[in-house]
Amino acid sequence: MTVALDHLDRLVAFETVSSRSNLDLVDWVAQRMASAGARITRVSNEGGEKECLVATMGPAREGGLMLSAHSDVVPVDGEVWTSDPFRLRRDGDRVVARGAADMKGFLACTLAAMEQIDAAALKRPVHLALSYDEELGCTGTDDLLDVLREAIPLPGIAIVGEPTLLRIVSAHKGARVYETEFHGRSAHSSQSHRGVSSNVHAARFIAMLDRHFDRLGEVRTAVADLQPPQTTFNVGLMTGGRALNIIPDFTRLVWEFRNIPEVDADQVEAEILGWTDATGLPEMQAQWSGARIETRRTANVPALDPAMNRAARDEVHRRTGCKGDDAVPFGTEAGFFQGMGVPTVVCGPGSIDVAHKPDEYVEIAQIERAERMLGDMIAWTAD
């Protein structure tokens, strides 16, 4: 096996599903990078059971290359695998394991490429940025961003190694996830004048969302491959009520919207919360002053705007031969880095079509090609 496949064999053995610690994997990556001469910065989450890491080689100056990966993988519970999901298995021209495509394959290639660096020859730095809890809606990315702002000069290009079959992706939608709770007052259903139905007011909230996003649907993206071409919403979970003859006093919605790059997610959020404050809550409290509506944002993934990524896309294409100016329906950490002012593209080995599924795999040829691609981009930092 190649060096990257050797690394992948070790990486998939760390069972870094989001409900578990990633510290063993981070320890191993930090040791390898430190042995290669990298400067290591690590930051723990509040509970201390997870860490993000930045490993830097080369001079401490702006304009370098950042290679971004996440350490977590989705669970295998309830899936039927033909082999141990946390043990790399070769199957013809591919290797199979949880995380092989999403996205430990890219991390393995990054480690292999960075271990070959002659740091003294670099004119610009190379950074490995490793996060946690990306699969939970990028909830661990804030810690990584703090490290990037405080510990390293601003990179000139970032590559996020999500599986794209090594095509260059320069656009995707954003996503925001919320929990909204409606606190009414219970009563017997025969005495509706004594109660405040949390279900009814939750339904009015959903109707408002439907109207609001119907209007937003008139704004269509200029990115041809971004489908559907408008901002959308979904109410994925609704729980409320205890019995048919009891007016419900508590309802909980879990909902999201996915915005095209042309739509400002902050403005959308402000408009929705503004309706709650100006209309939804006063309607409930007109029935009972103790009624409440509480909304909490639980995940935020910024959109990736292709207009800000032309330089990164062109340089990656010129250096590596990787093609594409694609858009994808899934979110990544790329929008966070773009928000810091770093031109960012998504490009990594493997296919998103096999991610999160039993017998997830990556073609060996994709790993080999990714190693070469990263070597070519690292050479850019020595120019």
Residue type, 28: W
pLDDT at residue 229 is higher than 80: yes
Measured distance CA(170)–CA(190) in Å, rounded: 57
Q: How far is CA 9 from CA 67, 86, 280, in A?
A: 20, 9, 53
DSSP, collapsed to helix, strand or coil, labels residue 228 as coil
> Residue 329: its pLDDT value, please?
85
What is the set of active-site residues?
72, 134
Cα 118 to Cα 136: distance, rounded to the nearest angstrom:
36
Instruction: Please tell me the CATH superfamily of domain 3-172+303-380, with its number.
Output: Zn peptidases (3.40.630.10)
- List b or e across 197-214, with b for residues whose CB sees 16 or more CB atoms inside 10 angstroms: bbbbbbbbbbeebeebbe
Long-range contacts of 210-219 (CB under 8 A, 24+ apart): 212/271, 212/272, 212/275, 213/257, 216/263, 216/268, 219/260, 219/262, 219/263
What pLDDT, on a 0 to 100 scale, did the predictor assign at position 140?
85
pLDDT of 369: 96
Q: Where do the CATH 3.30.70.360 domains begin and end in the chain?
A: 175-301
> In this structure, what token pair is assigned to residue 367?
């790993």
Q: What is the mean pLDDT of residues 203-227?
A: 95
Give the right CATH number for 175-301 from 3.30.930.10, 3.30.70.360, 3.40.50.2300, 2.60.40.10. Answer: 3.30.70.360
Average of pLDDT values for 192-207? 96
Q: What is the pLDDT of residues 239-282, one digit of tens each?
A: 999 999 999 999 999 999 999 999 999 999 999 999 999 999 99
User: What are the residues facing 297 on neighbouring strands?
Assistant: 178
Cis peptide upstream of residue 103 (ω within 30 degrees of 0): yes
Render pLDDT for 15-38 as a digit per residue (tens, 0 to 9).
Answer: 999 899 999 999 999 999 999 999
Average pLDDT over residues 311-322: 93
Given this model, what pLDDT does residue 1 score? 64
CA pair distance 121, 383, nearest whole angstrom: 9
Classify residue 112 as exposed, middle or buried by CB count within 10 Å of its CB (0-12, 13-18, 19+): buried
The residue with tokens 């649907």 is 217
pLDDT of 289-303, one tens digit each?
A: 999 999 999 999 999
- Residue 334, pLDDT score: 96
pLDDT of 77 higher than 80: yes
3-class DSSP assignment, residue 266: helix
Residue tagged 């639980």 (tokens): 298
Cβ-in-10-Å burial (0-12, 13-18, 19+) of 375 comes to: middle
Q: What is the mean pLDDT of the chain?
A: 95
DSSP β-bridge partners for residue 188 = 246
Q: Token digits for 217?
A: 């649907």
